[in-house]
A and B are shown apart, each in its own frame.
Chain A
């Protein structure tokens, strides 16, 4: 029996589709995790090795640069200390509040500048200028205006992170393919709907890299702030660093430094890197690159 033309057409299309459809690669979770983890573990081992060699060389006495074993023991005892967690909670609270404020300010500025050529000419380069200004340079001014308070720290976090976030959004909007915008217009997206359904989602990759960079700036500003703006009965990571230096407790100092580093890496990896990966994966920008 000969199939009728409509069925034939459907079958032909199905055949072409089956031949043309891109394949999905099928690495399982365990192997993926392992292939991501071992280079990192290797790097940590190498760094610890170099550190130990420096200690062995006797370049500085061990009460100035203690070996990895001493510091890791110190770190272990910190993990059983309630005050340590209190310090982390206070620091992370500041980070979250400051970074959230920076997102609000940065997004608003970024949206405005990306839409207005006049505004871009006026403040476009200033945003980048503020971004490249070391956040520590803001602190004398912040302390003058806000005195030694939470506000001084938040002020500097926002100034540190918001320009990166604004620039991320601006470059995200700039890099939207014109065809996507045209398609949106033909579909009837204008004004707020265009922003919500077309521009913002299309600019998301740029925005997320801005957030990632903004987080790095926020975390740096926060650490600088906690060293300079020490508020009574507010034990923070910065306060503990400062105290360890005053007591010449090198092991505690280095243990806290490791904590600062680890928090920065963990937030970047768990929040921003995975967000970035998901976005790129959803949009088909990740194929053949993982290997």
Chain B
């Protein structure tokens, strides 16, 4: 199943560029440097996982990419991509049905009303929520809400999907299946995905590349290319091996703060 989406602006879409970006919260002595001269390039249609301990500025980076926060220094170039975002909590609008949540995303993008119902139905089918369009968000389980949030982000016709620990609050079994679901959707689309997590296995399970960030201030410490055939399983041997390697590196990074 593929998404109906308008054609890309150019035949070749350049990478997403994060160039020498810094971001500080507060000022004076209480200032916290969240990101310190961070540079990163993400290829078109790449699935990149940002990994790091608390305070590494993962979420800050996503919010900068989304244009929610202002950049203090440096530049971000998303290559004209449309941006969709999924948060740790579903953040569905509780006053709308699941279907209307998805519909609103299209409406705000100016999609004409006559094509919206069929697209809503298609997106609900894509995330396996057929028959739940008329339900309210609170009537769904956490995993279903997060799938609905994913459908809403896709409804924006996003090219660049920013995901901020989207499965962090779910039970392990649901999370495993949502990994499969996300991988399936990504493989059948043009999406470039930046996925933030503090779960190493999750990062290796999903990403083409895992970028390890240091904490306070956030910088890129290491990058790992996950050359593992898809579809993957979180409990497979190659995933476990790379995850162990990354975990060692991550612990080293965390220890540095205790000294």
Query: Which residues of A does B touch, CB under 8 Å?
Result: 5-6, 9-10, 12-14, 16-17, 20-22, 24, 179-180, 182-189, 193, 197-198, 201-202, 204, 279, 282-284, 287
- Name the one of B91, B141, B156 contacting A188, with C-beta atoms under 8 angstroms: B156
Q: How far is the CA of A189 from the CA of B156 in the complex (A)?
A: 12
A98 to chain B, nearest CB (A): 29
**Could you show 18 A-B contacts with beta carbons less than 8 Å apart?**
A9-B177, A9-B184, A13-B177, A16-B173, A20-B143, A24-B139, A179-B89, A182-B91, A183-B87, A189-B108, A197-B107, A197-B108, A198-B93, A201-B93, A201-B95, A204-B95, A283-B136, A284-B94
A9 to B83, CA, bound (A): 27
Determine the residue in chain B with the shortest Cβ distance to A193: B108
Q: Min CB distance, A72 to chain B, in Å?
A: 44
Q: Are B138 and A17 in contact (CB under 8 A)?
A: no
Q: Is B95's CB under 8 angstroms from A16's CB?
A: no
- Which chain A residues border B139 with CB–CB below 8 Å? 21-22, 24, 284
Interface residue ranges of B63-85 to A (CB < 8 Å): 66, 68, 83-85
Q: Does B221 contact A (CB under 8 A)?
A: no
Asked if B219 CB lies within 8 Å of chain A CBs, one says no
| Complex contact A186–B83 (CB within 8 A) | yes
Interchain nearest-CB distance for A285 vs B (Å): 8
A193 CB contacts on chain B under 8 angstroms = 108
CA–CA, A76 and B136, complex, Å: 46
In the complex, the answer to whether A185 meets B95 with C-beta atoms within 8 Å is no
Please pick, from B95, B104, B147, the residue contacting A187 in the complex, using a CB distance under 8 A.
B104
Contact of B95 among A6, A184, A202 (CB under 8 A): A202
- Complex Cα spacing A9 to B105, Å: 27
Between A and B, how many residue pairs show CB distances below 8 Å? 94
Q: B108: nearest residue on chain A (CB-CB)?
A: A188
**B interface bracket (residues with beta carbon within 8 Å of A):** 35 or more
- The answer, yes or no, to whether B109 is at the interface (CB within 8 Å) is yes
A180, B93: Cβ atoms under 8 Å?
Answer: yes
B residues in contact with A5, CB < 8 Å: 180, 231
Neighbouring B residues of A6 by C-beta, 8 Å: 184
Interface centre among B95, B104, B156, B180 (most CB of A within 10 A): B95
- State the Cβ distance, B125 to closest chain A Cβ, in Å: 10
Chain B residue, CB-CB nearest to A177: B91
In the assembled complex, how far is the CB of residue A230 from the closest CB belonging to chain B, in whole angstroms?
Answer: 45
Complex contacts, B93 vs chain A, CB 8 Å: 180, 183-184, 198, 201-202
Q: Does B4 make an interface contact (CB < 8 A)?
A: no
Q: Which are the 7 A-B pairs with shortest beta-carbon distances?
A: A284-B138, A20-B141, A183-B91, A283-B94, A186-B85, A188-B108, A201-B95
Contact with A17, one of B87, B107, B136, B143 (Cβ below 8 angstroms): B143
Residue of A at shortest CB range from B96?
A201
Cβ contacts B173-212/A at 8 Å (1 or 0 each) = 1100100110010000000000000000000000000000
Bound-state Cα–Cα, A9 to B144, Å: 14
The residue in chain A whose Cβ has the minimal distance to the Cβ of B107 is A197
The CA-CA distance from A24 to B136 in the complex, in Å, is 12
Proximity bits, B156-174, A CB within 8 Å = 1, else 0: 1000000000000000011
Chain B residue numbers with a CB within 8 Å of A197 are 104, 107-108
Whether A186 and B177, one on each chain, are in contact in the complex, defined by CB atoms closer than 8 angstroms, is: no
Give the residue of A16, A24, A188, A284 whose beta carbon is less than 8 angstroms from that of B137: A284
In the complex formed, the residue of B with least CB distance to A184 is: B93
Q: Check if B141 sits within 8 Å of A284, measured CB to CB.
A: no
**Is the pair A187, B177 in contact by a Cβ cutoff of 8 Å?**
no
Contact yes or no, B173 A21, CB < 8 A: no
Q: How far is the CA of A5 from the CA of B184 in the complex (A)?
A: 10
Point out the residue from A16, A187, A282, A287 that lies within 8 Å of B108, measured CB to CB. Answer: A187
Which chain B residues border A204 with CB–CB below 8 Å? 95
A9 near B181: Cβ-Cβ < 8 Å: yes
Q: Would B181 and A283 count as touching, CB distance under 8 A?
A: no
B107 CB contacts on chain A under 8 angstroms: 197
Q: Which residues of A contact B84 (CB under 8 A)?
A: 186
